[in-house]
Amino acid sequence: MLGAIMFSSKQLLEFLPNVELVSTLTMVYTLVYRKRALIPIFLFILMEGILHGFATWWLPYFYLWPILWGITMLLPKTIPERLQAPVYAITCSLFGLAYGSLYAPFQAVIYLGGDLSKMYKWILAGLPFDIVHAQGNLGMGLLIVPMVRLLRELEARLSGSSTPL
């Protein structure tokens, strides 16, 4: 279900270039479920391939989203409550800013014959899109703390109740 939510959110926001909830949900799921968050992340990746085709654009997803998962896993678990929202939102935003640069080595190998000088030009050309991605992720990243609280509350209700919601 969590993977489907990631997938659906991406499809619903397709009309806004480089604005997505996938980064936010990746962080939310990681903060709540830790290692088990990889399950919805990889289900999301699989659904993307099924809908849009298993082409070369899709392969970097197998390392891009786990990078954000890993960064989130490395964040201290005991961030003071007043700092959580800015830390999570900034982390999410920086990932959006770095997204094109993280994607570029794969593109350089597949499309540019490994030419790193062209890869740097590709990164520079994509920088305006990465800036938009960072801004979108900053705004969406402000939803991380309330979404974590909500998901933890739902988990507590489900674990404490013998009847499903």
Q: What is the CA radius of gyration of the chain?
A: 17
Whether 161 shows a pLDDT value over 80: the answer reads no
pLDDT in tens, 60-75: 999 999 999 999 999 9
118 inside domain = yes
108 inside domain = yes
pLDDT in tens, 82-115: 999 999 999 999 999 999 999 999 999 998 888 8
pLDDT recorded at residue 84: 98
93 vs 111: CA distance, rounded Å: 27
Structure tokens, 137: 């992720």
95 inside domain = yes
115 inside domain = yes
164 inside domain = no
Q: Is the dihedral of CA 129, 132, 134, 137 positive or negative?
A: negative
102 inside domain = yes
For 13-143, where are the alpha helices, taking DSSP H only? Answer: 22-33, 38-52, 61-74, 81-111, 116-141
Domain limits for position 44? 2-159
Q: Is the dihedral of CA 70, 76, 81, 86 positive or negative?
A: negative
pLDDT in tens, 114-123: 888 889 998 9
Q: Write down the mean pLDDT value for the chain.
A: 95
- Which of 125 and 162 is assigned the larger pLDDT? 125
Assess contact for 40 and 3: CB atoms under 8 A: yes
Whether 81 shows a pLDDT value over 60: the answer reads yes
Assess contact for 6 and 44: CB atoms under 8 A: yes
165 inside domain = no
Domain count within the chain: 1
152 inside domain = yes
